[in-house]
Chain A
Amino acid sequence: MKLNTALIRLLTAVVLLTSLLWGQESTVKWQRSAPATQPELQLFHSPHGIDLPTATTLQKWDMEFEISHRFIPTTSSGIEGFYGLDGPVHMRLALGLALSNRMVVTLGRSNYNDNLDLDLKYKFLQIRHDRIPTLLAVRVGGAWNTDPQYREIAERSKSDIHNFQFFGQLIINSRFGKKLAIGLVPSYLYNADIRWGPETDDSETKDILRLGTQLQYYVSPLWSILVEWSPYLTGYKSLPGQENNPLSYGIELETGGHFFKIFLTNSQYINSSQYLAGADIPVENNDWRIGFMITRLLKFSKKM
């Protein structure tokens, strides 16, 4: 009996000693309770290419101010016209607001036809693939040409329905590694030529479908080069002065979420509805317009 008691005490002592020693190693109870935050997937750094949108969106309540220029004289104007920089210019001002981390609404105005445009972009799918991450977004919008500069419709009321244009774009973005981003932007434009209507005895709506394509190579965190080409697919392509496929190429400078692009383009048009109708200079002419776009991000909400 005595032996049994001693044995039990010995075993208990061993267990206690073991638990004491073991306890020294496992006394900390803390464990990570949540995985790392998963931020929104962004592939192109900027929400915009040159004339085509990207699937990149802003953070909720961030605002974006944009100013863009297309110098109307071409580089062939030489030093006398300072390669087009003497102007005149088509210019656009726009203000975007992120209603959520995936939705941006933008109001813009350009001086060509005193065009007011409103669009909404929504990123609806993020595929976090290791090698080929992909984003899908849609952008829909309308534009109101409040002061069309065409003699045929000079008498038309500003608010005439024929002065309105509408467009829809599907945005497919992907990126290979950190350096090369590509985008496909099938784009539909309704009422490509605002001159149709009772004044011109033309009752056929002018629609056009283009395949926007874009490519951007990020040379460093600061610099990148980008190219856009939007070939005609189907629909109306005979808009006088806009029969050509738009092609633009240039460089982008990025500084902490703000972007500056300078580029050459064969199009003088600047708003989506004008751009999608077509460019005015054939690429084979090798005559280009200089353009730029500056976007500055602003915070609408309180900081943490």
Chain B
Amino acid sequence: MRTIFYFLIVICLLQSSFAAEYQVDKSQKNMVKFISDAPMEDFEGVTDKIDGYLFFEGDNLLQGSEMYFEVDLNSLDTGIGLRNTHMRENYLETEKFPFTHFTGKLVKADKTAENSYQVSAQGKMFIHGVEKEITVDGTMSPLADGYQVQALFITPLTDYKIKVPQLMFFKIDENMKVEVNFYLKKAEKK
């Protein structure tokens, strides 16, 4: 009985000491950029309103890995205010779907350099009321108390039932590039 008791205490201590949660560090210069090639001018929407967490156990990024990241679509800035309104109302329908989010886990974390991991995340992307299973490749660079995360992936608008916007009669590329660059810091214990 005594052995079981001490074993459980050790397990609990290990659990609490090795599980790590990293949350988006909002004090950093985070960036999420949606880019689409258009015949006359590239169309870009940028925001720093990304939030969420990455959780894993121990030193292994993959063990018990879990993540959730969301982007506030009402904050997307295309450079022109009325174009933002046009995009929100007619295409993203942010009144109904103010956030887009990705929820999943890390499935690959290869150390490629002293300060860099090549990572893959697998999970569900939710945009415009539609959820799709996707895999996103990127890099994670360890920092003093967190990570810098960078990724670039393609999101076909039609997969998410978003009409392809038009600019000056020309439709923009339906394959939207999504570029993310944000910082995670270790969650403070409450």
- Chain A interfacial positions (CB closer than 8 Å to B): 6, 9-10, 12-13, 16-17, 19-20, 23, 27-30, 32-34, 36-40, 42, 45-47, 56, 58-60, 62, 98, 101, 178, 221-222, 254-258, 297-299, 303-304
Q: Complex formed: what's the CA distance from A42 to B94 in Å?
A: 14
Q: Complex formed: what's the CA distance from A113 to B78 in Å?
A: 39
User: Contact partner of A256 among B46, B83, B89, B163, CB < 8 A?
Assistant: B83
Q: A30-B21, A221-B90, A256-B167 are in contact. Are A16 and B12 (CB under 8 A)?
A: yes
Q: A20-B11, A27-B19, A36-B99 are in contact. Are A101 and B81 (CB under 8 A)?
A: yes
User: Contact partner of A23 among B9, B15, B98, B163, CB < 8 A?
Assistant: B15
Hey, which chain B residues are within 8 Å of A19, CB to CB?
12
The verdict on B187 contacting chain A, using a C-beta distance below 8 Å, is: yes
Hey, which chain B residues are within 8 Å of A62, CB to CB?
80-82
Q: A9-B1, A20-B12, A29-B21 are in contact. Are A42 and B85 (CB under 8 A)?
A: yes
| B88, A39: Cβ atoms closer than 8 Å | yes
User: Who on chain B is nearest to A17 by CB?
Assistant: B8
User: Who on chain B is nearest to A29 by CB?
Assistant: B187
| B21, A12: Cβ atoms closer than 8 Å | no
A-B CB contact pairs (8 Å), 17 listed:
A9-B5, A10-B1, A16-B12, A20-B15, A23-B15, A28-B21, A28-B53, A30-B21, A30-B187, A34-B51, A40-B85, A45-B85, A56-B82, A101-B81, A256-B168, A297-B83, A304-B31
User: Contact partner of A38 among B70, B74, B99, B167, CB < 8 A?
Assistant: B74
| B51, A32: Cβ atoms closer than 8 Å | yes
Q: Complex formed: what's the CA distance from A297 to B167 in Å?
A: 13
Q: Complex formed: what's the CA distance from A255 to B38 in Å?
A: 13
The verdict on B37 contacting chain A, using a C-beta distance below 8 Å, is: no
Q: Complex formed: what's the CA distance from A258 to B85 in Å?
A: 12
Hey, which chain B residues are within 8 Å of A258, CB to CB?
168
Q: A45-B82, A59-B80 are in contact. Are A30 and B68 (CB under 8 A)?
A: yes
| A257, B85: Cβ atoms closer than 8 Å | yes
A32 CB, min distance to chain B CBs, angstroms? 6
- B1-29 CB contact bits vs A (8 Å, 1 = yes)? 11011001101100110010101000000
Hey, which chain B residues are within 8 Å of A59, CB to CB?
80-82, 84
Main secondary structure of the interface of B (DSSP, over half): mixed
Size of chain B's interface in residues, with CB distance under 8 A?
Answer: 57
- B91-112 CB contact bits vs A (8 Å, 1 = yes)? 1001000110000000000000
A126 CB, min distance to chain B CBs, angstroms? 13
The verdict on B75 contacting chain A, using a C-beta distance below 8 Å, is: yes
Hey, which chain B residues are within 8 Å of A303, CB to CB?
44, 46, 77, 79
- B113-133 CB contact bits vs A (8 Å, 1 = yes)? 000000000000000000000
The verdict on B138 contacting chain A, using a C-beta distance below 8 Å, is: no
Hey, which chain A residues are within 8 Å of B90, CB to CB?
221
User: Who on chain A is nearest to B81 by CB?
Assistant: A59
| A27, B46: Cβ atoms closer than 8 Å | no
Q: Give the one of A10, A12, A27 with max B CB within 10 A.
A: A27
Q: Give the one of A12, A101, A221 with max B CB within 10 A.
A: A221
A187 CB, min distance to chain B CBs, angstroms? 24
Q: Complex formed: what's the CA distance from A257 to B165 in Å?
A: 12
A222 CB, min distance to chain B CBs, angstroms? 6
User: Who on chain A is nearest to B29 by CB?
Assistant: A304
B136 CB, min distance to chain A CBs, angstroms? 19
The verdict on B52 contacting chain A, using a C-beta distance below 8 Å, is: yes
User: Contact partner of B82 among A9, A36, A297, CB < 8 A?
Assistant: A297
Hey, which chain A residues are within 8 Å of B167, CB to CB?
255-256
Hey, which chain A residues are within 8 Å of B52, CB to CB?
30
B122 CB, min distance to chain A CBs, angstroms? 18
Q: Complex formed: what's the CA distance from A257 to B91 in Å?
A: 13
Q: Complex formed: what's the CA distance from A257 to B87 in Å?
A: 9
Q: A28-B66, A59-B80, A304-B48 are in contact. Are A254 and B86 (CB under 8 A)?
A: yes
Hey, which chain A residues are within 8 Å of B98, CB to CB?
36-37
| A255, B82: Cβ atoms closer than 8 Å | no
Hey, which chain A residues are within 8 Å of B168, CB to CB?
255-256, 258
Q: Complex formed: what's the CA distance from A13 to B31 in Å?
A: 47
A300 CB, min distance to chain B CBs, angstroms? 10
The verdict on B147 contacting chain A, using a C-beta distance below 8 Å, is: no
B112 CB, min distance to chain A CBs, angstroms? 28
- B49-83 CB contact bits vs A (8 Å, 1 = yes)? 10111010000000000101010111101111111
| B86, A45: Cβ atoms closer than 8 Å | yes
